[in-house]
A and B are shown apart, each in its own frame.
Chain A
Amino acid sequence: MSSVAEARAAPSRARPDPERARERTLLLLAAPALLVLGVLFVWPLLRLLSMSVADGTLAQFEKAALDSLYIAVLWDSMEIALFVTAICLVLAYPVSLWLVQAGRLGFILGMFFLLLPFWTSVLVRTYAWMVLLGRSGVINRMLRDWGLIEAPLPLLHNLTGVLIGMVHVLLPYMVFPIYAALLRIDPDLKRAAEGLGAPAWRVFLRVTLPLSLPGVFAGCALVFVISLGFFITPALLGGGRVIMIAMLIEQQVREFLDWPFAAALATVLLAATLVIYAALGRLTGGQAHAAR
């Protein structure tokens, strides 16, 4: 009995401010992870960025800005990311709509089709696309056997191949936020619109679509930003003909050992990534983060 009484009395005596003690414990719990993030993420990143101005000048950035090759690659990367985002959006929106309306079995099947590729290695999927899209690949072989084409279609080692491969990797990143946004829409709103005589297309345009926009922006931000820094898929499916900025950075480090210039390119890529993500994130009104 007395020990229980002691335990009850103890907090008020030993810890005059339980709120502060609690915050201290929580801070202690966060400390190891934050320390590791600091040492292995923030510190190496800052070190890398500082290499670009190690000689005290902006010469590396000038080199990047004056050489039309680097500008072209940066521009191409933006363009590819934009294409990938647009294609993902066009494919993902109807799929998300379908998922919201689907029955239990349809939902489970749909999630399986979305999550299995999501959990499968990007490299495996990229390899499979090489097998499918090559000159004598599965698709060209079958089209020729069926007499649909005379000469093989150029699907691999060009922009088409890169776009197909990247859309395949990034599609789930677009579906999930749009689906989450559609799920949050109060079904009574749609019923009210229908009850007032609005045809289905108008219900969609005036109710569903506007209310799902935060999810659309969140998905676009995520897909655009991840595409911008893509490396494996363009490197393998582009066949050297499609160069993205991440490939350029890798080349500077591994082939030319030009760390200051690689650091400058990395700084440009990181700045573009963060600015675009922040700008698009603003459009979602913080929904992207609230979506958790």
Chain B
Amino acid sequence: MPRARRRRTGGRIALTVFTGVVFAFLMLPLLVVFPISVSSAPYLQFPPPGFSWQWYQRYLDDPTWIESTIRSFKVAFLCTALSMALGVPLSFALVRSRLRGMRIADRLVAAPIIVPTIIISIAVYSLFAQLRLIGEWYGIAIAHTILALPFVVILVSAGLRTFDEAQEHAAMGLGASWPVAVWRITLPQLRPSLVSAAFLAFVTSFDELVIAMFLSGASMTLPKKMFDNILLEIDPTIAAVSVLQILLACLCLGLATIFGRGALPSSVTR
């Protein structure tokens, strides 16, 4: 028996070491930008020769960086609002309706995860060019809604599936109308799913590059501005911006975990 047990613990240790290496691989790129963003060197250098806030200063002093950051926030907020306003009611229909068409609708909503973003981008680009929506920030937000909607529907549907509809019937039996029952009984209990969905929608839009590349024209979003800068030169200002974006992702993930249900693995991948 001791031999078998040793072999088993040996296997476990190997598994743990392997997993540790994979986790290190996942975290490595997120960690490496921190030291570079506070480097005192005038160009990319590792390890940094000294400490300095100069790259953050440069980001804050450059109006084009700030403008693109504000634009990205505006786009992401509008996209979150739109995808929640559309996605939450849709989730109710997808989970509760017995119509056969709803199964097709279910596939349709998930399709933007599978359909390559480049195809969605040029398709929407050609339409928006005709409607003269290129360069408008709300145009980007509307297009991002297509990408964020599947995440909202997946998370909210998952929450709704675990909710016992009898509670709504009880409220209605006591005289509440259906909208009131949903508002007072169902939605509060769905709050964790709603919070996670909203944060995931926000992050999806805030980070999106390919659609923004086509639709933003001269008024760039933050990822577009970053992409252009990376193509020109790898200067440490981008590292500073990256650190800020990683901290924002941390914040969103943290808030979604505390007030929501995180981005539950099985629900993200359906």
Contact = CB atoms under 8 A, between A and B. Distances in A.
Q: Do A and B bind each other?
A: yes
Nearest to A201: B11
Contacts, number: 271
Interface in A1-37: 3-4, 7, 22-23, 25-27, 29-30, 32-34, 36-37
A161 to B, nearest CB: 12
B19 A95 contact: yes
B48 to A, nearest CB: 11
B89 A29 contact: yes
A253 B122 CA distance: 8
Interface stretch (A61-69, A146-154, A227-235): A227-235
B123 A117 contact: no
A195 to B, nearest CB: 14
Interface stretch (A121-129, A185-193, A205-213): A121-129
Contact of B263 (A4, A48, A115, A123): A115
Contacts of A110: 19, 23
Contacts of B112: 41
A56 interface: no
A132 B28 contact: yes
Contacts of B265: 111, 114, 175-176, 179-180
Interface string B1-21: 000100110011001101100
A285 interface: no
Contact of B116 (A113, A131, A176, A269): A269
Interface residues of B, number: 95
Interface in A210-246: 218-219, 222, 225-226, 228-232, 236, 246
Nearest to B226: A123
Contact of A33 (B29, B32, B86): B86
B209 interface: yes
A207 to B, nearest CB: 15
B210 interface: yes
A231 B117 contact: yes
Interface in B91-127: 92-94, 96-99, 102, 105, 108-109, 111-120, 122-127
Contact of A200 (B8, B18, B93, B252): B8
B193 to A, nearest CB: 12
B249 A98 contact: no
Interface of B: 4, 7-8, 11-12, 15-16, 18-19, 22-23, 25-30, 32-33, 36, 44, 46, 85-87, 89-90, 92-94, 96-99, 102, 105, 108-109, 111-120, 122-127, 142-143, 145-146, 149, 154, 157-158, 161, 175, 178, 200, 203, 206-207, 209-210, 214, 223, 226-227, 230-231, 234, 238-239, 242, 245-246, 249-250, 252-253, 262-263, 265-270
11 contacts: A29-B93, A43-B127, A48-B119, A95-B19, A119-B252, A124-B226, A127-B33, A127-B230, A128-B242, A183-B266, A253-B214
